Amino acid sequence: MRFLVQATVDNARLGLIEGVERLPHFRLESPNVFFYTKGGAVPYLSVDIFQQITKNDTVLNFPVPGMTHFLERMQRFNGNIAQFIGMPKNLTFSSIIDPGSTRIPGYHTKGHVPIWSRSGKENISCKMYMDLMEAFEPDIFHTLCDSDTVVDSSNKRNVKSLERTLEFFEKCLELHKNSEKLKNSKVIGSLVGGYCKEAREKCSAAVGAAPIFGVSVDALHDFSDQVPLIDTDQIKLAVEMSLKHIPPDKLRMCPGSWNPNVILDLISMGIDIFDTTYPCILAENGGAFTFINNEIILQDGGEINSEKCNGDEINHCQDNSVKKNSDMEPVNKKFKPSNPESEIYISLKDTVYFDKFEPISKHCNCITCRNHTKAYIHHLLNVKELLGPTLLTIHNLHHYVKFFETIRKSLKEDKFEILRNSFKKRYHGNSDQQTDGYKERVVQNGLEKIN
C-alpha cells in the first residue's frame, strides 16, 4: 500500500491511497474520510444500506474501545476484521482513540493506556494492543498513545503524554516489525504534546523520522461536546508545530467532530483524512445537514441565486427556505449551529417541521430525501423511533461524502481557496457567545505556551 501526493495547492494536498495487496483495485482519493464504526458497524446502518451511501472505495475506522470483546472470537476466526463483519472489500483502520466518545481523563498507570469498553475500564499495554491488532489484521493501524491532553492541561501532563506516547510508539514499531500477521499492515504514528510548542515539535521530529505510513494529529481535545465549537485559531499553531518535521509523503489525519469551516482550514494546513463522527452524532441528536456541499458555492461565491438552485443547497434558496423560529431549541447544546443564520444544519426535532411535507433537500438523491419528508422524520424523532436517526445518518453521511468530493474537485481545478473563502462567507463559523469561554482558556493555557 502507498500514499501518493498528486498535487498541492499551497499546503492543501490532493492525494491517493492505492496498491493495497489484498484489494488491488482499491483507490481512495484525499482529502477524504474514514467511516466511524461502533462495534464493527456504522451507527444505525446495515451493510447493504451503507453500501448505498457511496459507490467509491471506503475505509472503515474501528476504535479499539468498542472492539475488545471481539478478541477471543477473532483469534479463532480465520480471516481479518473486514471479513469478520462481512465487508471484505473495505479497507480497515484501527485506533486506540474513539473519536465518537468523550475521553475520560486520568487513570494512567505505568506502561498502560486506560480505555472504557463494554466491560468497563481496561488498561491496555503495548503487548495487549498489538495482540488485538494481530487478531484484527487491519490494513492500517494507529500506534498506542497517551493523548489525554486538552487546552488547559498542565505542562507536566503535556510532557508526560509526550514521553509515554514516544515510548509506546517505539514498542509498537518493534512488535510490528517482528509480526508475521501484520507485515502488510501500515502504521500511523500519533502526534501529541497538547498546546506546548516544545512538546509538539519534539514529537513531530521523533515520529517524522520513523519508517511509517502516516501520522495523526492527536491530543487537541477530549472528543467532547465542545469539539464542533472549536475555532481554527485555537488549534492552528499546535497543528502546524505537529506537522513541522513530517515528510510530505506521509498521510496526515486529524480525528474529531470538526465543523466544516475547521475542516477546510485543516485541509489548507495539509491534513488529508478526517472521520465521520460529526454527521453521525448530529443525526443521533436529530440534526440534518443543509449546508451547500457542491460546486454552486464556487460559482456564486457564497451568494445563492434561486434561479441556479440545482444541487443539495435546499434551505438556502429563496423559494425553498427553512422558516426561522426564534424559540427553536437546538439539536443538542454540543451541536448548536455556529451562527443562527448559517444553516449548516437544521434540527428536525423542532415543531416548525411537523407539517413540512418536503424532503430535507429535494435535489439530494440519498435514500432519505428520495422517500421521506421532514414532517415524517420529525414524527419519528418525536416518538423516538429508531428509524429517525437511521434516516438522518443516511442523509448526513451522503451529504458529507458529497462535500469532500466537491473539495477534491476544487483542488483539481485550483479553486480550493475560492471554495474555502466562499464557505466562510456563507457560514460564519462559531459565534463569539458560544466560544468566548473556550477562546479564553486557549489564550491563558494554550497559545501562550506555543508562542
CA distance 138 to 150: 29
CA–CA gap between residue 234 and residue 37 (Å, rounded): 28
Q: Calculate Rg over the CA atoms of the chain.
A: 21
* CA distance from start to end of the chain: 38
Asked if 222 and 105 count as a contact pair (C-beta separation under 8 A), the reply is yes
CA torsion, ordered 384, 327, 376, 380, to nearest 10 deg = 0
* Residue 97 falls in which region: left (phi positive, over 0), alpha (psi -120 to 50) or beta: beta
Q: Which amino acid belongs to residue 352?
A: V
Q: Three cell numbers at 263?
A: 475542516
Nearest residue to 291 (alpha-carbon basis) of 311, 271, 275, 263: 311
Question: Around Cβ 25, how many Cβ atoms within 10 Å?
Answer: 8
Angle, helices 232-242 vs 260-268, to 10°: value is 30
Task: Establish whether 369 is an annotated binding residue.
Answer: yes
Instruction: Determine the 3-state secondary structure of 395 from DSSP.
Output: helix
In one letter, which amino acid is 280? Answer: C
Q: Is 395 annotated as a binding residue?
A: yes
Question: How far apart, in Å, are the Cα atoms of 401 and each of 164, 284, 431?
Answer: 36, 18, 26
- Dist. CA 23–CA 316, nearest whole Å: 41
Indicate the helix (H) or strand (E) that contains 263: helix 260-268
C-alpha–C-alpha distance, residues 200 and 192, integer Å? 6
| Rounded CA separation 89/435 (Å) | 42
The C-alpha cell that represents 268 in the structure block: 489548507
Residue 166: half-sphere exposure toward Cβ, Cα within 13 Å = 18
Write the DSSP symbol of residue 238.
H
- Give the number of other Cβ atoms within 10 Å of residue 245's Cβ: 16
Residue with cell 460559482: 299
Task: Provide the annotated binding site.
Answer: 364, 366, 369, 395
Task: Provide the annotated binding site for Zn(2+).
Answer: 364, 366, 369, 395
